[in-house]
């Protein structure tokens, strides 16, 4: 059974602000080469991921514009919008927009604040991990986000959620566990990343189920 480590609304927004502020600091320190590097998101550069996160501030008119540029599926449309925005803004503008969101409680149409927390935490790691940078996540915050990821019904769950549900996930730095099956143990932040399909976190995990989990996630 999952321990939820519930955050109230204010707690979630504080965690979002902390994630945005930390990411803005990291991005401001990147070289031009690092901005062009691949992220953990397939086919997305670090720049593309940063641009995607700025879209959380989109208002109704901008959201309607996205629909007019529909690319057949939600994933292709999101990718198109991210790369389009990445090309339109300078690195300084991207950093400024992410930093400027700190303190904002604006929610884009169709996106909840809980989903925004997951996006900020995971996409921050999508940028930091391949660059060898550190972007810490508090275990309690990661536990809340992982519980939300595993229980989400809309938008439809990620395929990785169905995969990890066959295993018992156990955090080693906080009292949290989820699922049944062969055990997979590790830091809470790494478990959150695995729940979201990030295989780069697998080396941080141990347990009887790790080899099978790796096989299923990379199949």
24-42 per-position pLDDT tens digit: 999 999 999 999 999 999 8
**How many alpha carbons fall within 13 Å on the CB side of residue 22?**
20
pLDDT by residue (tens digit) across 82-128? 899 999 999 999 999 999 999 999 988 778 999 999 999 999 999 99
Instruction: Report, in angstroms and rounded to the nearest whole number, the Rg of the chain calculated over CA atoms.
Output: 17
Q: Where are the domains of the chain?
A: 9-131, 139-218
pTM for the whole structure: 0.91
Q: Is 23 left (phi over 0), alpha (psi -120 to 50) or beta?
A: alpha
Q: CA distances (Å), 25 to each of 28, 83, 92, 135, in order? A: 5, 22, 12, 10
Are 108 and 58 spatial neighbours (Cβ–Cβ below 8 Å)?
yes
pLDDT by residue (tens digit) across 33-89? 999 999 999 889 999 999 999 998 865 566 555 555 666 677 777 878 889 999 999
Which has the higher per-residue pLDDT, 173 or 152?
A: 173
How many other C-beta atoms lie within 10 A of the C-beta of residue 39? 22
| CA–CA dist 210, 205 (Å, integer) | 7
| 188-195 and 113-128 helices, crossing angle to 10° | 100
Closest CA to 40 of 116, 174, 132, 148: 132
């Amino acid at each position: 059974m999952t321990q939820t480590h519930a955050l109230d609304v204010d707690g979630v927004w504080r965690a979002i602000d902390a994630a945005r502020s930390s990411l803005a600091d990291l991005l401001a320190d990147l070289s031009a080469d690092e901005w062009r590097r691949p992220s953990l998101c397939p086919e997305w550069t670090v720049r593309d991921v940063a641009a995607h996160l700025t879209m959380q501030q989109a208002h109704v008119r901008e959201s309607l514009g996205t629909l007019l540029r529909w690319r057949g599926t939600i994933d292709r449309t999101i990718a198109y919008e991210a790369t389009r925005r990445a090309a339109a803004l300078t690195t300084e503008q991207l950093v400024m927009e992410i930093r400027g969101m700190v303190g904002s409680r604006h929610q884009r149409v169709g996106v909840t604040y809980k989903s925004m927390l997951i996006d900020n935490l995971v996409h921050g790691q999508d940028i930091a991990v391949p660059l060898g940078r550190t972007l810490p996540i508090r275990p309690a915050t990661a536990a809340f986000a992982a519980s939300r990821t595993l229980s989400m019904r809309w938008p439809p769950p990620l395929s990785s959620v169905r995969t990890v549900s066959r295993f018992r996930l156990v955090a080693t730095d906080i009292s949290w566990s989820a699922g049944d099956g062969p055990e997979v143990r590790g830091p809470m932040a790494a478990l959150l990343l695995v729940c979201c399909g990030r295989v780069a976190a697998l080396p941080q995990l141990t347990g009887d189920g790790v080899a099978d989990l790796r096989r299923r996630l990379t199949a």
